[in-house]
Chains A and B, each alone.
Chain A
Amino acid sequence: MNFPDRHTMAGALQLMREGRLDPAGLPPTRPDTCGAVIFTDDTPGLPGHLQHFPAALKANIARQGWPTTCSSALLAGYRSPFTASAVRRLEAAGARFVLSTAMDEFGMGSSCEYAVTGPVANPWAKGRTPGGSSGGAAAVVAGGTAWYALGSDTGGSVRLPAAYCGLVGFKPTWGRVSRLGLVAFASSLDTVGVLARCVADAALVMQAMAGHDPGDATSLSSPVPSFPGPAPVRGKGLRVGIPRDLLECDMAPGVRRCWEAARQEMLAAGLEFREVRWPLAAQGVTMYQILAAAEAASNLARFDGSFYGRRVEEPVPGGLAFQDSLQATRTAGFGPEVKRRILWGAHVLAEGYREDLYLRARALRHNLGRQMLAGFEQVDVVALPTAPETAFPLGQRPDDPVAMHGSDVFTVPASLAGLPALSLPAGVDEAGLPVGLQLVGPPLGEDVLVRVAGLLEARIQFSAEQEVPWCRP
């Protein structure tokens, strides 16, 4: 990529270290014009290397005293009594979180149209989706309102908005970043990820927030290696896997063109291609729909009006019985997509259906994970497009869950296998909308992802000249 140095955190920090940039000379943040911001807080942060860069949180990541609404009417007015571990780690490095951003309710959606505050627009084209579910987080970074944002990625919710908004989206290995303080959607898939302007910025943030957290029993104790800096690395000797089975899926012509161009850049950089076989990956979306719905039905059972958020108590003689209050609260509080997924979850777990749906999907997920791991015996990373299309028009799909889930076909396999993955801009389509290139790494292979992504970013022509929103005059 080719951005002015002071427009990226890594570049600006380098200039500051060299004494060539004063923090006062950093480009100012811009107002939100996409309907993405739902809360602001100007409280100063601690000193540290991230202190000069205002940042945003997705509304399902807790910060003490902030509304953690998950963009749901059910949690309207709920304020978190504690701060998420990932946020605490970043704040210790100087991070200053100033914005909470809208999302698809409870992380369920791929377009950011299922937020109680209304749809969020894409800074590249206001009539189009920023992707979801971390669409608000992506919109504020792409629009220059924040330098970076934390999102959550369950089936692609960081990588898809990154692709649609011309950003880098970095999803870690499951367990690499603590989930303490992330409102659970599907616990075996949920991760906290980063949306940033470039690979080095995403690596900077990931480096600061990754690591074991005693407060999260599922966080991994493996040490976090130092991620490579912004300096270009050599491609020779690196092996890239091409998942032929997935690439046979339909994709838009502009996406295919950018993918082919990215392949040529990888070849020119000296990367070696090898084919990997992930035959079950093309069915990942169905597995994901079943498993994520099952876990969501369980996780969201806690929202019954007795502890979190609002409670509906209709004035009736003698008051409402608990069961009636629960039903009234959940029916009024959850939006249509969340209701749909909870009901799907109950369906796939119910007696008579469980074995053929839930248990089968769980066993298939197991086999998919083994297929994907086997691929990494031959390659360092696997490359594929992030999404089969670019940002689609708002209002096109909210009533078509099958089409909506189709956006996730390339992102859910890494989620199902718990693998790290990174989306970076790979160009624009014929309409000038960003296209994402996805790299998937082996377990705990975040450092390899950063190396390869940094190499490709330096070669792929995606620059300020293409009117990236945050660089517009």
Chain B
Amino acid sequence: MDSRRIAYLQQLTGLKLTPAEARRLERDLAQLDRQAALLPRLAQGHGSPGDGTVPAAPMPLEFQEELVEGNAPDLEGGFFVVGRARPGGSEPVDPESGA
């Protein structure tokens, strides 16, 4: 992390930091990067269900069918599990009625 990157982030977000705040941000981001480095790595291919690895490529259809996006638009960064999808489809299923 260098001062040019901190300056770039300020420009990107429309925020201006004091030199002390910028130094602190540099430390915080380095800490965040260190924490993130401890997260499981991306698996090659699709990974294995439940083993903590994560799919690097889009999930195969059979996994997608276990997940439903609710009736929500596909929020960037979010997913929501509410029940099972209809086989082969992406329409939400009411988990209580199964309809």
User: Which residues of A does B touch, CB under 8 Å?
Assistant: 173-175, 186-189, 217-218, 220-223, 225, 279-280, 283, 286-287, 289-291, 294-295, 297-298, 304, 323, 326-328, 330-331, 334, 336, 339-340, 342-344, 346-348, 350, 356-358, 360-367, 369-371, 373-374, 401-402, 417-418, 443-444
Contact flag A187-B81 (CB < 8 Å), given A347-B29, A363-B55, A367-B50: no
List residues 29-69 of chain B with CB under 8 A from any CB of chain A. 29, 31-33, 35-36, 38-42, 47, 49-50, 52-56, 59, 66-67
Q: Are B79 and A342 in contact (CB under 8 A)?
A: no
Q: Are A294 and B39 in contact (CB under 8 A)?
A: no
**What are 27 residue pairs bridging A and B, where the CB atoms are less than 8 Å apart in the complex?**
A174-B70, A175-B71, A175-B82, A188-B77, A189-B78, A218-B73, A223-B96, A225-B96, A280-B52, A286-B39, A289-B35, A295-B76, A295-B78, A304-B14, A327-B16, A330-B13, A334-B15, A342-B13, A344-B32, A348-B32, A357-B33, A362-B77, A364-B40, A365-B79, A367-B50, A369-B79, A401-B28
Give A291 Cβ to nearest chain B Cβ, in Å: 5
Q: Are B82 and A173 in contact (CB under 8 A)?
A: yes
Q: In the docked arrangement, what's the CA distance between A402 and B36, Å? A: 13
Q: Which residue of chain B has its CB nearest to the CB of A304?
A: B14
Inter-chain contacts of B77 with A (CB < 8 A): 186, 188, 291, 294-295, 358, 362
Q: In the docked arrangement, what's the CA distance between A340 and B66, Å? A: 36
Inter-chain contacts of A339 with B (CB < 8 A): 15, 17, 21
Q: In the docked arrangement, what's the CA distance between A221 and B53, Å? A: 33
Inter-chain contacts of B16 with A (CB < 8 A): 327-328, 331
Q: Are A287 and B31 in contact (CB under 8 A)?
A: no
Q: Are B15 and A343 in contact (CB under 8 A)?
A: yes
User: Which residues of B does A touch, CB under 8 Å?
Assistant: 8-10, 12-17, 21, 25, 28-29, 31-33, 35-36, 38-42, 47, 49-50, 52-56, 59, 66-67, 70-73, 75-83, 94-96
Chain B contact residues: helix, strand, loop or mixed: loop
Q: In the docked arrangement, what's the CA distance between A322 and B33, Å? A: 33
Chain A contact residues: helix, strand, loop or mixed: helix
Give A376 Cβ to nearest chain B Cβ, in Å: 10
Q: Are B39 and A361 in contact (CB under 8 A)?
A: yes
Give B71 Cβ to nearest chain A Cβ, in Å: 6
**Residue in A175, A289, A297, A356 whose CB lies within 8 Å of B70:** A175
Q: Are B15 and A342 in contact (CB under 8 A)?
A: yes
Q: In the docked arrangement, what's the CA distance between A358 and B76, Å? A: 10
A187-B78, A330-B13, A346-B9 provided; 7 other pairs, C-beta below 8 A? Answer: A217-B72, A286-B36, A290-B36, A327-B16, A362-B77, A370-B67, A374-B50
**Residue in A289, A326, A336 whose CB lies within 8 Å of B21:** A336
Q: Are B66 and A360 in contact (CB under 8 A)?
A: no
Q: In the docked arrangement, what's the CA distance between A304 and B14, Å? A: 8
Give B35 Cβ to nearest chain A Cβ, in Å: 5
Contact flag A327-B82 (CB < 8 Å), given A294-B77, A360-B36, A360-B54: no
Please give me the 8 A-B residue pairs with the lowest Cβ-Cβ distance, nearest first: A188-B78, A363-B54, A218-B72, A418-B80, A331-B16, A188-B75, A286-B35, A326-B14
Q: Are A217 and B73 in contact (CB under 8 A)?
A: yes
Q: Which residue of chain A has its CB nearest to the CB of B81?
A: A369
Q: In the docked arrangement, what's the CA distance between A326 and B59, Å? A: 40
Q: In the docked arrangement, what's the CA distance between A344 and B26, Å? A: 10
Q: Are B80 and A175 in contact (CB under 8 A)?
A: yes
Q: Are B70 and A343 in contact (CB under 8 A)?
A: no
Q: Which residue of chain B has its CB nearest to the CB of A332?
A: B16
Q: In the docked arrangement, what's the CA distance between A340 and B35, Å? A: 16
Q: Which residue of chain B has its CB nearest to the CB of A173?
A: B82
Inter-chain contacts of B79 with A (CB < 8 A): 188, 362, 365-366, 369, 418
